[in-house]
Amino acid sequence: MDNYPNHLNERGEVHMVDVGSKAITERMARAQGVLLASPSICQAVQEGRIPKGDVLAVSRVAGIMAAKRTGEWIPLCHPLPLTATEIVITVQTDRFVVESTVRTTAPTGVEMEALTAVSASLLTLYDMLKAMDRTMVITDILLLEKDGGRSGHFIREGVSHVENRSPDQ
Amino acid sequence: MDNYPNHLNERGEVHMVDVGSKAITERMARAQGVLLASPSICQAVQEGRIPKGDVLAVSRVAGIMAAKRTGEWIPLCHPLPLTATEIVITVQTDRFVVESTVRTTAPTGVEMEALTAVSASLLTLYDMLKAMDRTMVITDILLLEKDGGRSGHFIREGVSHVENRSPDQ
Amino acid sequence: MDNYPNHLNERGEVHMVDVGSKAITERMARAQGVLLASPSICQAVQEGRIPKGDVLAVSRVAGIMAAKRTGEWIPLCHPLPLTATEIVITVQTDRFVVESTVRTTAPTGVEMEALTAVSASLLTLYDMLKAMDRTMVITDILLLEKDGGRSGHFIREGVSHVENRSPDQ
Amino acid sequence: MDNYPNHLNERGEVHMVDVGSKAITERMARAQGVLLASPSICQAVQEGRIPKGDVLAVSRVAGIMAAKRTGEWIPLCHPLPLTATEIVITVQTDRFVVESTVRTTAPTGVEMEALTAVSASLLTLYDMLKAMDRTMVITDILLLEKDGGRSGHFIREGVSHVENRSPDQ
Amino acid sequence: MDNYPNHLNERGEVHMVDVGSKAITERMARAQGVLLASPSICQAVQEGRIPKGDVLAVSRVAGIMAAKRTGEWIPLCHPLPLTATEIVITVQTDRFVVESTVRTTAPTGVEMEALTAVSASLLTLYDMLKAMDRTMVITDILLLEKDGGRSGHFIREGVSHVENRSPDQ
Amino acid sequence: MDNYPNHLNERGEVHMVDVGSKAITERMARAQGVLLASPSICQAVQEGRIPKGDVLAVSRVAGIMAAKRTGEWIPLCHPLPLTATEIVITVQTDRFVVESTVRTTAPTGVEMEALTAVSASLLTLYDMLKAMDRTMVITDILLLEKDGGRSGHFIREGVSHVENRSPDQ
């Protein structure tokens, strides 16, 4: 790992990093995030009392569409021509878990695209359910896996460092 | 609280809720989110070894710009003419805390705008620091306060339900 | 009806028409459009051999999102704060029929928003089904109803030509 | 032709199809669409009583600009770097006919870009002329030709139904 | 005039200024800008050897479309619902002069919208002519008039410096 | 230099030029622009009475973000995947000078991207300072250098006119 953000130039000013000399390779990233919701909502979705079809489809589409436009939301991201994007949502007892997989063939990776897809997907779920629960929390947005770049294959081990940290505040 | 998402119509299909008959009032929302990062990064920023000027400014701007375009990220959000947006970032021992305040005069609230601003601001911080730490986590994105709508003034008490929940997985 | 396009000024040059002195009223528009597809596709969707949940949900969302951004597609449209948008899709023997309803409170109407929603919804259906049928046709995009403006209430009489036309090919 | 939409994964959920392993080749698509309008409008344009310069130029530009952003309107489209876009509009007795040609060098085709260009161009014409005729109809949006992909060269035979149909109303 | 930028808060950090308590009034702004080009190009356009129809129409449309999206290009601008936008281009011996007029009914003014429209219009002219002259210069983008806000009516006195400057090169 | 705009086809109508057969090479462009402001503002920034950190950072980010979306501002520009973007701002006695450098690997150049970045950066500076000086002027936006295309290396000789012109007002 470097010890200086490469988005800052020698004057400490932001720039869009030059990736012109990096190899164009196949790259992928997988990310995850969680929407903590009241068990009654999760159960209503699981049991079909809230029709989940459109709710999950709209959340998936929001993630896919946001991934394509990551360079508009994140100021210093390079715009990339994505070759694939997939969003999988699972409903658990007290949470919705969103996982994204994004692929490209480009000189830089799609870590931010995967994370942006997850964020948009979670915010969209939140939006559709917020009239039912105003205390939902979006949490644990993190990189699960990354491949294809100079730094090799990264897989997050057991997501354990999340567990060990104390909750905020 | 309702027990059915108002973004679904009677057929269980998504629509953009009709707010045409709601009162146009001054509304505000305040949200928060956290980027957990390695203490060495946080310290480097606090002590100025990583020049924080541009890093924090870019993150704030990303939040402000995303708030204005919330209706493009979140499929069923109404586009709203925001009257004010503010992003405050504080650097702590092992985390960056982002807080947004958004205001409008409109027939519907700005909860999603405040949460979207926080998300974009956190993703932008993550992007600028990711070459230094690949295990950062975005977490605890939640609504702090909301005012101006039919449902009255909402303030989140002690953010305590976040603390009590066990970490993901 | 006028006999000169109001989008042209006295020099015959396009401009964005001044609506600053028009009354701000509640306005609505309803539009419709058709995707002619092979009966085998329509039947497969109707009988569930093609899972229609996500297909129709994504098409509806595309229509809703496009309606909000009509001013970006259509160069001389005024950007408007929509208060409601609804898309209904019905599957018939040889076609998908999309109907949109859009509402605003503004000094100008939402006819273009309703038509743009229908167009995006139909293009999205086409996109998802095109690997199965390359001879689909998008057709009969038209205004069904309009209300709230200076020119009174408009309802299109007998859209029977939609029913009577044989499917393309 | 396949008998299952490739935009659905094995769970019947939408995704952005993986094109990462497809060959990067030169691809083109040509599409067409029609705006049926009252003969008096068409004649006024043909005879110059309505100055057609800006009207047709704005419609062409709207088509070109929409083609570039197809991935924003159509949720599951891959964003593509277009290498060429051309829009040709002809005014006939009772209709405007718009034809688009789009090219790229990419792992997937530009059929949707060509159709989106035609749609935006037609909607823009409609917008500029709607104060003069509220019963216009957008119709017969279809693919004329496609080349460069795995499935070979496609040309639509005899689009004669466009000529033979009587104008709407 | 103030002596501190109101886009900075008390900590010297950027924010989107709160305009929620300002009066909603009719506002207008008029701006201007110049593209200095070689006399041979200007003459060719004036004499019709370069067909000016589409060139000027496309430049006007680019200005109108940019005005509507000013809040996306200028990070701290409030998004505003414009009620009118007009672009006038005149071709002189050695320059193209673009003038914009923008109107809204809103709690803040449209100075930036008028200047953004002029900028986009000039850049678009430059783009279309650049293969013929690589030494063109965009210059003298300035506010001509502003009305409707708290600070009263502003008219710029004698913009004669535009006329007197010799063309670049 | 050509003597006919290549953005016009043989009918004098605009199109997006076909670059499909041009070589994909590394390309760069460097552009510059100036904001003439009152010496008291420039001095206040230089001496830190106006905190320049966020002001300059936001202006730089606006330029970088606009460069990425040049194809949305400028109707006939090809969308390009930029590999690098840098904005440098210097504060002088009576002006802010913005210089951009943009790089890509593509079949067409980034001249418009560099000029668009400069324009957005200058407009953003203007926006943040306009409450303090309503007579600022944006001027001298021009191409400094261009490389990588068919037409070889271009460097603008002696941009001395920038230095010699007296500030506006």
Contact E64 C72 (CB under 8 A): no
CB A110 within 8 A of CB A29: yes
**pLDDT value, residue F57:** 95
**Phi/psi of residue D41, nearest 5 degrees:** -70, -50
For residue E110, the chain F residue with the least C-alpha distance is F127
Q: Which residue has the higher pLDDT, E157 or F94?
A: F94
As beta bridge partners, residue F91 has F96
pLDDT exceeds cutoff 70 at E70: yes
Closest partner residue to C4 among D14, D50, D74, by Cβ?
D50
Closest partner residue to E75 among B26, B64, B82, by Cβ?
B64
Q: What is the pLDDT of residues C67-76, one digit of tens each?
A: 999 999 999 9
Query: Topology of D26-164 in CATH?
Result: Alpha-Beta Plaits (3.30.70)
**pLDDT value, residue F163:** 41
Buried b (16+ CB within 10 A) or exposed e, E67-80: bbbbbbbbbbbbbb
Q: Which of F55, F68, F124 is most worth mutating to test chain A (most A CB atoms within 10 A of its CB)?
A: F68
Q: E strands along A37-167, which residues? A: 82-91, 95-106, 137-147, 154-155
In this prediction, residue A165 has a pLDDT band, given cuts at 50, 70 and 90, of very low
Q: For residue C62, give every residue at least 6 positions away whose Cβ sits within 8 Å of its Cβ, in sequence order, or none.
A: C120, C121, C123, C124, D73, D74, D75
Residue E78 marked ligand-binding: yes
Q: Does B86 touch chain E (CB under 8 A)?
A: yes
Q: Read off the pLDDT of each residue in D37-63 and give the average, rounded to a whole number.
A: 92
Q: Read off the pLDDT of each residue in A11-38 and give the average, rounded to a whole number.
A: 95
In chain C, the percentage of residues whose pLDDT exceeds 90 is 75
E13: which chain F residues are within 8 Å (Cβ-Cβ)? 54
Q: Which of D142, D147, D150 is most worth mutating to test chain C (most C CB atoms within 10 A of its CB)?
A: D142
Q: Read off the pLDDT of each residue in B2-13 and give the average, rounded to a whole number.
A: 86
* Cα separation, A37 vs A58, whole angstroms: 18
Q: What is the pLDDT of residues F96-143, one digit of tens each?
A: 999 999 999 999 999 999 999 999 999 999 999 999 998 999 999 999
- Indicate the burial class of D83 (C-beta count within 10 angstroms; 0-12, 13-18, 19 or more): buried
Buried b (16+ CB within 10 A) or exposed e, F99-130: bbbbbbbbbbbbbbbbbbbbbbbbbbbbbbbb
In chain F, the percentage of residues whose pLDDT exceeds 90 is 75
Q: Read off the pLDDT of each residue in D114-127 and give the average, rounded to a whole number.
A: 98
* Cα separation, B164 vs B154, whole angstroms: 20
CB B125 within 8 A of CB B55: yes
ipTM value of the model? 0.93
Buried b (16+ CB within 10 A) or exposed e, C16-35: bbbbeeeeeeebbbbbbbbb
Q: Read off the pLDDT of each residue in B134-139 and give the average, rounded to a whole number.
A: 94
pLDDT exceeds cutoff 60 at B160: no
Contact E138 F115 (CB under 8 A): yes
Query: E58 vs chain C: nearest CA distance in angstroms?
Result: 10
Query: What does the mean pLDDT of chain A come to?
Result: 90
**pLDDT value, residue D160:** 44
3-state secondary structure of B116: helix
**pLDDT value, residue D159:** 67
CB A104 within 8 A of CB A110: yes
Q: Could you give the maximum distance between any two Cα atoms of chain D, in Å?
A: 57
**pLDDT value, residue D162:** 41
Q: Does A80 touch chain F (CB under 8 A)?
A: yes
* Cα separation, D66 vs D71, whole angstroms: 9
3-state secondary structure of E3: coil
> F123, A34, C22, D137: which is closest to E119 by C-alpha?
F123
**Phi/psi of residue E26, nearest 5 degrees:** -75, 130
**pLDDT value, residue C159:** 66
**pLDDT value, residue E103:** 97
**pLDDT value, residue A79:** 92
Q: Does C20 touch chain E (CB under 8 A)?
A: yes
CB F107 within 8 A of CB F80: no
Tokens at B78, concatenated:
């109404």
Query: B41 vs chain A: nearest CA distance in angstroms?
Result: 8
pLDDT exceeds cutoff 60 at D169: no
* Cα separation, D35 vs D135, whole angstroms: 11
Tokens at F99, concatenated:
């210089």
In this prediction, residue F49 has a pLDDT band, given cuts at 50, 70 and 90, of confident
In chain E, the percentage of residues whose pLDDT exceeds 90 is 75
pLDDT exceeds cutoff 70 at C169: no
Cβ atoms < 10 Å from Cβ of C131 = 16
Contact E136 F142 (CB under 8 A): yes
Q: Does D127 touch chain C (CB under 8 A)?
A: yes
The sign one gets for the Cα dihedral E111, E115, E118, E124 is negative
**pLDDT value, residue D138:** 98
pLDDT exceeds cutoff 70 at C113: yes
Cα distances from A114 to residues A83, A143, B19, B124, F37, in angstroms, run: 13, 8, 33, 13, 43
A137: which chain B residues are within 8 Å (Cβ-Cβ)? 140-142, 161-162, 165
* Cα separation, F140 vs F159, whole angstroms: 9
Contact B20 C85 (CB under 8 A): no
Residues 103 to 122 of D: which have CB under 8 A from any F CB? Answer: 103-105
Contact B81 E79 (CB under 8 A): yes
3-state secondary structure of C133: coil
Closest partner residue to E79 among B57, B61, B68, by Cβ?
B68
In this prediction, residue D112 has a pLDDT band, given cuts at 50, 70 and 90, of very high
For residue F53, the chain B residue with the least C-alpha distance is B53
* Cα separation, B145 vs B121, whole angstroms: 19
Q: Which of C94, C127, C133, C168 is catalytic?
A: C127
Got the DSSP string for D77-131? PPP--EEEEEEEEEE-SSEEEEEEEEEEEESS--HHHHHHHHHHHHHHHHHHHTT
* Cα separation, B57 vs B43, whole angstroms: 18
As beta bridge partners, residue C29 has C102, C146
In this prediction, residue F169 has a pLDDT band, given cuts at 50, 70 and 90, of very low
**pLDDT value, residue E1:** 59
Tokens at D132, concatenated:
């003069």
* Cα separation, C84 vs B18, whole angstroms: 4
**pLDDT value, residue F168:** 37
Q: For residue B148, give every residue at least 6 positions away whose Cβ sits within 8 Å of its Cβ, in sequence order, or none.
A: B25, B26, B27, B28, B109
Q: Read off the pLDDT of each residue in F88-93 and give the average, rounded to a whole number.
A: 96
A77: which chain B residues are within 8 Å (Cβ-Cβ)? 127
**pLDDT value, residue D1:** 58
* Cα separation, C38 vs C132, whole angstroms: 9
Question: Cα angle at A101 between A44 and D102, to 5 degrees?
Answer: 110
In this prediction, residue D6 has a pLDDT band, given cuts at 50, 70 and 90, of confident
* Cα separation, A15 vs A97, whole angstroms: 34
Query: What does the mean pLDDT of chain C come to?
Result: 90
Q: Give residue A12's region: left, alpha or beta (phi > 0; psi -120 to 50).
A: left
Residue F113 marked ligand-binding: yes
In this prediction, residue F164 has a pLDDT band, given cuts at 50, 70 and 90, of very low
pLDDT exceeds cutoff 70 at C131: yes
Q: Which of F2, F18, F127, F133 is catalytic?
A: F127
B70: which chain C residues are within 8 Å (Cβ-Cβ)? none
For residue E129, the chain F residue with the least C-alpha distance is F5
Q: Does F60 touch chain A (CB under 8 A)?
A: yes
Instruction: Tell me which H or E stretch contains E85.
Output: strand E82-91
In chain D, the percentage of residues whose pLDDT exceeds 90 is 75
**pLDDT value, residue E21:** 92
The sign one gets for the Cα dihedral E45, E47, E50, E54 is positive
Q: Does D128 touch chain F (CB under 8 A)?
A: no
Contact C15 E69 (CB under 8 A): no
pLDDT exceeds cutoff 60 at E40: yes
* Cα separation, A36 vs B163, whole angstroms: 12
pLDDT exceeds cutoff 60 at A90: yes
Q: Does A81 touch chain F (CB under 8 A)?
A: yes
Q: Read off the pLDDT of each residue in E68-82 and give the average, rounded to a whole number.
A: 96
3-state secondary structure of E42: helix
In this prediction, residue C1 has a pLDDT band, given cuts at 50, 70 and 90, of low
Closest partner residue to B83 among E71, E72, E107, by Cβ?
E107
Q: Does E18 touch chain C (CB under 8 A)?
A: no
pLDDT exceeds cutoff 80 at A94: yes
pLDDT exceeds cutoff 50 at E132: yes
Q: What is the pLDDT of residues D145-167, one digit of tens each?
A: 999 988 889 999 866 434 433 33
State the helix-helix crossing angle for A111-129 and B111-129, rounded to 10 degrees: 160
> What 3 state SS string does chain F have?
CCCCCCCECCCCCECECCCCCCCCEEEEEEEEEEEECCHHHHHHHHCCCCCHHHHHHHHHHHHHHHHHCHHHHCCCCCCCCEEEEEEEEEECCCEEEEEEEEEEEECCCCHHHHHHHHHHHHHHHHHHHCCCCCCCEEEEEEEEEEECCCCCCEECCCCHHHHHCCCCC
Provide the whole-model pTM. 0.94
Contact A60 D14 (CB under 8 A): yes
Cβ atoms < 10 Å from Cβ of D40 = 14
In chain A, the percentage of residues whose pLDDT exceeds 90 is 75
Tokens at D90, concatenated:
């002809």
Task: Give catalytic status of residue F94 as yes or no.
Answer: no
Tokens at A103, concatenated:
């692929």
Q: Read off the pLDDT of each residue in A69-97 and give the average, rounded to a whole number.
A: 96
For residue C21, the Cα-to-chain-centroid distance in whole angstroms is 27
Q: Read off the pLDDT of each residue in A137-155 and give the average, rounded to a whole number.
A: 94
**pLDDT value, residue C163:** 41
Q: Read off the pLDDT of each residue in C10-19 and give the average, rounded to a whole number.
A: 92
Amino acid at B89: I
> A77, A105, A56, A72: which is closest to A7 by C-alpha?
A77
Closest partner residue to E76 among B64, B81, B88, by Cβ?
B64
